[in-house]
Amino acid sequence: MRLLLDESLPRRLATHLAGIEADTVFDRGWSGLKNGDLLRAAEAEYDVFATADQNLQYQQNLAGFNLGVVVLAAPTNRLEDLLPLVPGLLRACSSIVSGEVEVVRSDPATRRSDPETPPGGDIR
């Protein structure tokens, strides 16, 4: 299993993906490529592309690419917010097929609370 981490994700995330050969867009020298060009380059060498870009699936026809896409939906792109998503990312990598998109979300119970929102949500 070969995984490419988008430049929207911290490079250090790759060190937390036991059992997966993970590279980063930055390390490959692909920083700055537009999404379509990046996905075309990635599909030749990778099985899965991971990103924090939650709009990617609406901007690109991902079914036409020969790799799966995993979207990591965390409160921020900081490593400490992404680490709880690693088990879900690993599960997704083991089952995703080419052209498929899977969104891995953080557990609402572990999300940092918004100081503007009272406990229990906005009840205005």
pLDDT of residue 117: 35
Token digits of residue 57 = 């699936």
Query: What are the pLDDT digits (tens) for 79-95?
Result: 999 999 999 999 999 99
Q: How many residues does the chain have?
A: 124
Token digits of residue 117 = 């929102």
pLDDT of residue 61: 80
pLDDT of residue 114: 39
- What confidence category does residue 108 fall into, taking pLDDT thresholds of 50, 70 and 90? low
Edge-to-edge, what's the strand order for the sheet holding 48-51?
Answer: 21-24, 2-5, 48-51, 68-73, 101-105
pLDDT of residue 8: 92
Query: What are the pLDDT digits (tens) for 26-71?
Result: 999 999 999 899 999 999 999 999 999 998 888 888 888 999 999 9
Radius of gyration of the chain (CA): 15
Q: Can you give the residue ranges of every domain in the chain?
A: 2-108
pTM score over 0.85:
no
What DSSP assignment string belongs to 31-83? TT--HHHHHHHHHTT-SEEEES-TTHHHHS-GGGSSSEEEEEE-SSSSHHHHG
